[in-house]
Amino acid sequence: MDYDIIVVGGGHAGIEAALAAARLGRSTLLITQNPDTIGRMSCNPAIGGLSKGNLVREVDALGGEMGLLIDATTIQYRLLNRSRGPAVQAPRAQADKSAYAAAARAAVEGQAGLRVYMDTVVAIIASADGARVEGVVTERGHHIGARAVVVAAGTFMEGRIFIGEYRAGSGRLGESAAIGLGTWLAQAGFPVGRMKTGTPARIKASSIDFDALELQHGDPVREPFSFVNDEVSGPEVPCRVTWTNERTHAVIRANIDRSPLFSGDITGKGPRYCPSIEDKVMKFPQRDRHQIFVEPEGLYTDEMYLNGLSSSLPEEVQEEFIRTMDGFSNAFMVRPGYAVEYAYVDPVDLYASLESKRMAGLYLAGQTNGTSGYEEAAAQGIVAGINASLAIMREQPIILSRSESYIGVLIDDLVTLGAKEPYRMFTSRAERRLSLRHDTADRRLTPIGMRVGLATPDRAERFTRKTAAMDAIRELLRVRRITQADASRDPVFAPHLGEELARALRDPHIAELDVKAIEPGLSPYPDPWVTGVLLDLRYEGYVAKEERLSARLGKLDGVRLAADFDYAGILGLSSESVEKLMAARPLSLGQASRIPGVRPSDVALLAIRVVGRR
């Protein structure tokens, strides 16, 4: 074999997969159509957000790169949902897009054991019986052998863009599509479909009247995404906010027949939770305005990104409706918005390791699996890279559970339910949101990164030091009792005389006080560590309730099923369940119970058979 692992695609999934594989000692080749576009942000110039910020911190905890990249290139940081509970708070940062891509490329090119090659993969080389991957075929006719292949082709696989009546074979405006691989996968029997996404226009900043827009500054203190960084510094660039209006909507309605989304030219399913402005106007006619975030693309350019204004209408129509918004009457459109339709593989065809059920050694990640977003892509990429490496070493894959990570929720949803529309992560998809807070990601997943070998010595030392310190903080709060002196200083302590401070902090009146002033012994410890312990203590009752509610799920997930299990041989199992179970081939009883159409009674029959054989 030429390489242990070949990674197809240099986007966010491909970066994490390739780096993970090389860091685990596997000889790795990343094949991309253009090395200059490694890590390029195709759409919004930001990383993180609600639930997405959790994914980034989980990728970092496993030993991934995305958190480090955004920390190095941040131009604005905000903790979202600060006024709400910690379970739904998450970090989000604006990035300098050019600097982010440059940092990503530097990380890839500087990684020992990883090579970058410019070409386009058009087919997979399979064994004679088609059961195992053996390499790839490129557009220029190269046959490159590998023991495992990770496909992370993004929107480029059979990609096609739409701007009004304009059509082009592209994965990104101005960049050629990757033609061939999607067709090969379909011909080989993989469940290939079409999906659609889009991006808004970019506007020249000097043509915008910023005085007419609402200013939106970032937080004064930035929290690092990566657990190996103590602080994040850098320039601060504000965002702005504007709104569409009735004139905007009138222009869109008058030209709706020129939108490929409504003319039927686009057949792929678009993202429900990130619709185009055409979708918003037509589906919500009662709304007289929609919020638009005006975000800087970076320090290197004066282009501004109009978040919330994705469109595939003709360029002259986009320019016309953009100029109806406050502050944009003289707007100059540098790049038009467009829709892109691309091929994807329904992820029900994958195991929870992200390995193909049809072809051993073939892994899929990112938008190739029908997901939407940089963060979802990176999360799948690192899991695919780790598991491809473990398979080569003949070790068991890591299967992250729903109870321990958002990544586990993401992958379980994909391989169990499939993707009929672009999948986006939400906090509401997780059953244990309080346990999966973004600040707990390192405590949950760093041990896994250490076990598989992705944690650097520095990361492992930091983790050990932090966990020991948090144990000490917890003990300080339990030893410290509320005294009469405390009550004399502040009457809020009076009802808690003699109580452990750890318990008293559940009182919201005490929780809002400076705990380091109450217990000076906490002063040496960093504020985030103290806050993490306080949140653990404050919500431990709710967390215990979450644990009880998910205990049944955990028990079912702990019952493993063989990939070749004979469901047809179970007497009484419905024919519909047999069909669905044979198609999905779940790896656990819990996963089987979440397959649509599999009845609870059939899960009970399956449990009796499986448990009874033990």
Task: Round to whole Å and give the CA distance between 168 and 570.
Answer: 52
Q: Cα separation of 374 and 93, whole Å?
A: 13
What pLDDT score was predicted for residue 612? Answer: 60
Residues pairing with 123 in the sheet = 137
Average pLDDT on 476-488 reads 92
pLDDT value for 407:
97
pLDDT of 597:
66
Angle in degrees, CA 419, 122, 415, rounded to 5: 20
pLDDT at 522: 94
> What would the mean pLDDT of 252-258 be, rounded to a whole number?
95
Residues 6+ away with beta carbon under 8 Å from 313: 163, 164, 252, 255, 258, 259, 278, 321, 337
Mean pLDDT of 479-494: 91
Mean pLDDT of 171-191: 96
Give the residues across from 423 on adjacent strands: 371
The tokens describing 350, both together, are: 């994958």
pTM across the whole model: 0.90
pLDDT at 125 exceeding the cut of 90: yes
Task: Give the end-to-end CA distance of the chain in Å, rounded to a whole number.
Answer: 40
For 325-394, where are the alpha helices, taking DSSP H only? 374-392
Q: At what angle do helices 374-392 and 52-62 cross, to 10 degrees?
A: 30
pLDDT on residue 613: 55
pLDDT average, residue stretch 97-103: 97
pLDDT at 198: 92
Predicted confidence (pLDDT) per residue in 35-85, tens digit: 999 999 999 999 999 999 999 999 999 999 999 999 999 999 999 998 888
How would DSSP label each residue in 432-448?
Answer: TTTTT-GGGHHHHHHHH
For the chain, the average pLDDT equals: 92
Give 332-391 pLDDT, tens digit per residue. 999 999 999 999 999 999 999 999 999 999 999 999 999 999 999 999 999 999 999 999
d(CA 11, CA 389): 19
Question: Which strands, in side-by-side order, build the sheet including 333-335?
Answer: 214-216, 239-243, 291-296, 303-307, 202-204, 333-335
pLDDT in tens, 310-332: 999 999 999 999 999 999 999 99
Which pLDDT score is estimated for 550?
A: 61
CA distances from 119 to 12, 39, 364, 554 (A): 18, 17, 19, 44
Q: Which residue from 410, 407, 419, 408 is spatially nearest to 368, judged by alpha carbons?
A: 419
Number of other CB atoms surrounding residue 575 within 10 Å:
8
The predicted-structure confidence for 402-423, as pLDDT tens digits, reads as follows: 889 999 999 999 998 888 889 9
Tens-place pLDDT, residues 21-41:
999 999 999 999 999 999 999
Secondary element (H or E) of residue 611: helix 600-612
% of the chain with per-residue pLDDT over 90: 77
Query: Which residue's entry shows tokens 């940081």?
Result: 77
State pLDDT tens for residues 214-229.
999 999 999 999 999 9
The 8-class DSSP code of residue 119 comes to: -
Calculate Rg over the CA atoms of the chain: 26
Residue 149 confidence (pLDDT) above 80:
yes
* pLDDT for the residue numbered 593: 77
Helix or strand holding residue 206 (H, E): none
For the stretch 492-548, pLDDT in tens is 999 999 999 999 999 989 988 999 999 999 999 999 999 999 999 888 877 777 777
